[in-house]
Amino acid sequence: MSEDRRTPQDRTPENARAAAGRQPAKEHWHRRLLEGRIGLFAVLTTVVISIGGIVEIVPMFSVKTGPQPLAGVTPFTPLELAGRDIYIREGCYVCHSQMIRPMRAELQRYGEWTRAGELVYERPFLLGSRRIGPDLQRVGGKYPDAWHYEHMRDPRSTSPGSIMPPYAFLLERRIDPRDVMASVVAMRRLGVPYDNATIEQVAAHLNAQAALITRSLAAAQIDSEPDREIIALIAYLQRLGQDGRRALEAAEATTAATPAPATEGGS
């Protein structure tokens, strides 16, 4: 038996018929134009990748022309920002989204759908793409501080059947005000309007807000120190969706109080 010396391309039905002299193989245009021309292929690939990169990068530098903040939406406080950094570090956004879609089922479960104007100070966005756990866009104010404390210590103590892992180590770890100040400075460089007073008094802001949360926990018979990571995370979670909710309620109240324009010939 003779050895088959044909290449895999020669074995295709079209080329096999061509080799048999019945019909020439049909060559696609991209093979005729690009294959075998490495330089041209490299140039065209670079051009296409550059266009894709420009499309992704240019909007980042034109953010000022994007959605305007809703009235009353302000940047996170230093303690909330520290909690947000912990949220990112622990990968919470992998299992929890922060984007309520305008669909009946989501409105009934989570509340008002997410507006772009609520997220103007997010760097980066934490919208998420999966919901192994529930959406957290409107979780702020839904539960007391003690609930969040116990939920992070042992999720199944507050949510039976939860598959969320415990984060009890947050009850022991401490936040460093110098790290928080660095985060505030970095966010200002990214366009978040933190003023000099906020940056210079980061430690005071941390202590003041943390004291409120520790007092709330103490009322629930939970002892915690104000510089623990769990305090920062509680501050962040309790802030989620609060500004947007108030802004939407205010806009709705203004609309309801505004008299409807009189129609021609109407009473």
Q: Report pLDDT for 258.
A: 75
Average pLDDT over residues 191-212: 93
* Mean pLDDT value across residues 29-55: 87
Give the per-residue pLDDT at 129.
82
Sign (positive or negative) of CA dihedral 252, 257, 263, 266: positive
More confident site: 15 or 168:
168
Reported confidence tier of residue 249, pLDDT bands at 50, 70, 90: confident
- Report pLDDT for 204: 94
Averaged pLDDT, 114-135: 89
Q: What percent of the chain has pLDDT over 90?
A: 57
Return the structure tokens found at 197: 């007073």
Q: Which residue has the higher pLDDT, 19 or 148?
A: 148
Q: How far is CA 139 from the centre of its chain?
A: 15
pTM beyond 0.75: no
Q: Where are the alpha helices (DSSP H) in the chain?
A: 13-19, 29-34, 38-61, 78-89, 104-110, 145-153, 155-158, 177-189, 196-200, 202-219, 229-239, 242-257
Q: Cβ neighbours of residue 22 under 8 Å, at least 6 residues apart?
A: none
Q: What is the mean pLDDT of residues 230-240?
A: 96
pLDDT of residue 13: 60
- Tracing tokens 């309520």 back to the chain, one arrives at 100
- Out of 9-13, 115-119, 212-216, least confident range: 9-13
**What are the C-alpha distances in Å from 206 to residues 21, 27, 160, 230?**
83, 69, 33, 13
pLDDT band at 252 (very low <50, low <70, confident <90, very high): confident
CB 134 within 8 A of CB 237: no
Q: Which of the residue ranges 33-47, 224-238, 244-258 has the most confident prediction, judged by mean pLDDT?
A: 224-238
> Cα-atom radius of gyration of the chain, to the nearest Å?
29
The CA distance from 38 to 137, in Å, is 50
Statement: residue 210 has pLDDT above 90:
yes
> Which residue would you say has higher pLDDT here, 94 or 21?
94
Average pLDDT, the chain: 86
Q: Is the pLDDT of residue 214 over 50?
A: yes
HSE-up of 131 (CA within 13 Å, CB side)? 12
Task: Provide the pLDDT for residue 267.
Answer: 42
Predicted pLDDT of residue 56: 82
DSSP, residue by residue, 5-34 = ---TTTTSHHHHHHHTTSSPPPPPHHHHHH
Look at residue 14 in the predicted model and tell me its pLDDT. 59
264 or 114, greater pLDDT = 114
What pLDDT score was predicted for residue 17? 60
